[in-house]
Structure 1
Amino acid sequence: MLIRAMDLDDLDQIVELEQLLFTSAWSRSDFMYEILENQFSFNYVLEIDNEIVGYVGVWLMYEQSQITTIGIVPKYQHQGLGRILMQEMIALASQQGCETMSLEVRISNQKAISLYESLGFETKAIRKGYYQDNHEDAYLMVKGLEGQK
């Protein structure tokens, strides 16, 4: 298993996976912007046997960090890989001096919510109509990172 920085050569696979996993999928240009232009954005892929099986994006913005996207290939889900990616991002944010990590998650996505809660995230607010595809609400979940280093 290898976690490495996402690069432009990965985008065909990442965009295909994003479209498979999410109804409000990021586009190729969204990922290109994150990789090439957003100085706060750090994006990683998870490989097993040279195959990309997951990815994650995080913004590191001074004392705050935010998970922007995370996805695991369906046949690799429920094996703890999402947890591994989240733990790596928590460690990275802590090492960079971030004090909090946040994310938004569909209120219907109980599996993801359970994962985030098990990692210490707490629901702090509801973002009404957050998702463009069906206007579903999202939970804003936040985790304190002090003592995570």
Structure 2
Amino acid sequence: MRIRGYRVGDVEAMFQLDIACFTPPYQFDREMMQEVAEAPNAIVVVISDEGDAMLGFVIVHIERKGRNRYAYIITIDVAPSARHEGIGAKLLQEAEVQVSAGGLHSIGLHVAVDNTSAIAFYQRQGYQQIATEENFYREAATDAFVYVKPL
């Protein structure tokens, strides 16, 4: 396994991995995937196998609200065939290191209230539920839990 940053040619592999990981309407389209991955405020961490096949990735944006800056996880995807090997945890850990190195002290995310496996994963990684946002996933008519982890 190799941990690396984003490369411009990664968009198609990221898009295909997202399709494998999520059902509509939770999937990104190619254009949105490229937009969030190549945003100037993006941190992208990729884990690939020795042949450079993508096993997983995480996209984090550094956002600003007034004077406050915060890190927000846009998406984390791990290939179904590579799950339960610690890849998701490694992706989060590397993203958290980069966020912390940028001077930020917390990282947050939204997760669908019915995504029990993701909720359990985030809790194991030290994320704490702080709120519920109604109808966050509008197209799915699904609420989301808001999770935050201090760094």
Question: Which 5+ residue runs of structure 2 have no aligned equivalent?
Answer: none
Q: Partner letter of residue 12 of structure 2? A: D
Counterpart residue number, 1:95:
101
Query: Does the aligned pair in 1 maintain the 2:36–2:42 contact within 8 Å?
Result: yes
> Is it true that 1:41 corresponds to 2:47 in the alignment?
no
Counterpart residue number, 1:57:
59
Q: Distance in 1 between matches of 2:4 and 2:137?
A: 29
Counterpart residue number, 1:82:
88
How big is each residue's C-alpha offset from its partner over 1:59-87, in whole Å with a ceiling of 9 and x where there is no partner? Answer: 12363111110000101011111011011
Q: Distance in 1 between matches of 2:17 and 2:138?
A: 19
Normalised to the residue count of structure 2, the TM-score between the two structures is 0.88
Question: Which 5+ residue runs of structure 1 have no aligned equivalent?
Answer: none
3-state SS, counterpart of residue 111 of structure 2: strand
Q: Shift of the alpha carbon at 1:129? A: 1.2
Q: Shift of the alpha carbon at 1:46? A: 0.8
Q: Partner letter of residue 90 of structure 1? A: E
Range with bigger deviation, 24-33 or 57-66: 57-66
- In angstroms, what is the RMSD of aligned CA positions? 1.5
Counterpart residue number, 1:3:
3
Range with bigger deviation, 106-115 or 93-102: 106-115
Aligned residue pairs total 144
Q: Shift of the alpha carbon at 1:8? A: 2.4
3-state SS, counterpart of residue 47 of structure 2: strand
Query: Does the aligned pair in 1 maintain the 2:108–2:146 contact within 8 Å?
Result: yes
Query: Does the aligned pair in 1 maintain the 2:37–2:59 contact within 8 Å?
Result: no
How big is each residue's C-alpha offset from its partner over 1:102-133, in whole Å with a ceiling of 9 and x where there is no partner? Answer: 00111111221112112221111111111144
Q: Shift of the alpha carbon at 1:35? A: 3.6
Percent of aligned pairs sharing the same letter: 26
1:23-34 → structure 2 map (5 Å cutoff): 23=24, 24-34=26-36
3-state SS, counterpart of residue 130 of structure 1: strand
3-state SS, counterpart of residue 137 of structure 1: strand
Q: Distance in 2 between matches of 1:93 and 1:137?
A: 27
Larger % of strand: which? 2
Normalised to the residue count of structure 1, the TM-score between the two structures is 0.89
> Is it true that 1:144 corresponds to 2:150 in the alignment?
yes
Counterpart residue number, 2:119:
113
How big is each residue's C-alpha offset from its partner over 1:2-33, in whole Å with a ceiling of 9 and x where there is no partner? Answer: 12122221111111111121122111111222
